[in-house]
Amino acid sequence: MPTLDGPRWGPKEGAAEHLVLLLHGVGADGNDLIDLAPGWAAAAPKARFWSPHAPAPYDMGGGGFGRQWFSLADRSPAMMAAGLAAIAPVIDAAIAEECAAMGIPETHVALFGFSQGAMTALSCGLRRAIPPAAILAYSGALRDAGTLATTIRARPPVLLVHGEDDEVVPAAASRAAEAALRAAGVPVEAMFCPRLGHGIDQAGISRGGLFLQRAFALLDAAEA
């Protein structure tokens, strides 16, 4: 099984008590998202932010650059679901190893993903035996919604953020994900950003910071 590595940042204050795993989009790598950490650290000052590189080279890039969590060469539902199922144990093992090194429980983890990383965060996070504190999925989709009813193991709070003008993953994908999550009993919030394409804007970043702050505060209060 491949092991993951990539840039880390934080915590801003004291010893790390939480972990925010940042999962990048296809064709990028961990360096693409780690710059979110300093801003979000104001809301989650005791969190370590880790943005690992996906384990496989991007197989459709042409130039050998970038990484992928799973292949998009065949985008049929069955192959997408198979790719997500294959990456899940890699993500789970990475979380277990990082939390053990930090000395924190795996319940203290929030998963964030952008685009393919959002698909990965949703698929893996909802099926983890140890529920994450939160899932934040930006410009993504719930690609394996068809099996969710029989495979869901965790119902953490979920935030979906999507640009209304996304030309890569249509905003309808997050609207469908929102409906599927509600049907599965998952607490979900959704934010659709006008005039935003396939990217993250300041409004989405601000909403994500507040979501992380609230999720970790609820977790800490429950354990007090």
Residue 2 belongs to a domain:
no
Question: In the prediction, which pLDDT does 134 show?
Answer: 98
**Collapsed DSSP state (helix, strand, coil) of residue 56:** strand
Residue 3 belongs to a domain:
no
Question: In the prediction, which pLDDT does 62 show?
Answer: 58
Residue 15 belongs to a domain:
yes
Q: Helices marked H in the chain — which ranges?
A: 36-40, 77-102, 116-125, 148-151, 171-183, 202-223
Give the pLDDT band of residue 204 (cuts 50, 70, 90).
very high
Of residues 60 and 77, more confidently modeled: 77
Catalytic residues: 115, 166, 198
Question: In the prediction, which pLDDT does 223 show?
Answer: 85
Residue 60 belongs to a domain:
yes
Q: How many domains does the chain have?
A: 1
Least confident residue range of 8-12, 73-77, 149-153: 73-77
Question: In the prediction, which pLDDT does 168 show?
Answer: 96
**Collapsed DSSP state (helix, strand, coil) of residue 184:** coil
Closest-CA residue to 109 (of 78, 80, 130, 85): 130
Domain that holds residue 165: 8-223
Burial label for 165, CB within 10 Å (0-12, 13-18, 19+), is: middle
Question: In the prediction, which pLDDT does 63 show?
Answer: 59
For 13-66, how does the pLDDT look when each residue is reduced to its tens digit (9 = 90+)?
999 999 999 999 999 999 999 999 999 999 999 999 999 999 999 988 655 679
Q: Are 190 and 21 in contact (CB under 8 A)?
A: no
What is the chain's length? 224
Instruction: Please tell me what DSSP assigns to residue 52.
Output: P
d(Cα 197, Cα 37) in Å, to the nearest integer? 22
Of residues 72 and 48, more confidently modeled: 48
Question: In the prediction, which pLDDT does 17 show?
Answer: 96
**CATH code of the domain containing 135:** 3.40.50.1820
Instruction: Please tell me what DSSP assigns to residue 102.
Output: H
Query: Mean pLDDT for the chain?
Result: 95
Residue 172 belongs to a domain:
yes
For 151-201, how does the pLDDT look when each residue is reduced to its tens digit (9 = 90+)?
999 999 999 999 999 999 999 999 999 999 999 999 999 999 999 999 999
Question: In the prediction, which pLDDT does 224 show?
Answer: 75
Question: In the prediction, which pLDDT does 61 show?
Answer: 67
Question: In the prediction, which pLDDT does 161 show?
Answer: 98
User: Is the bond preceding 52 in cis, omega lying within 30 degrees of 0?
Assistant: no
**What mean pLDDT comes out for the span 59-81?**
85
Residue 51 belongs to a domain:
yes
Burial 84-95 (b: 16+ CB within 10 A, else e): bbebbebbbebb
Residue 174 belongs to a domain:
yes
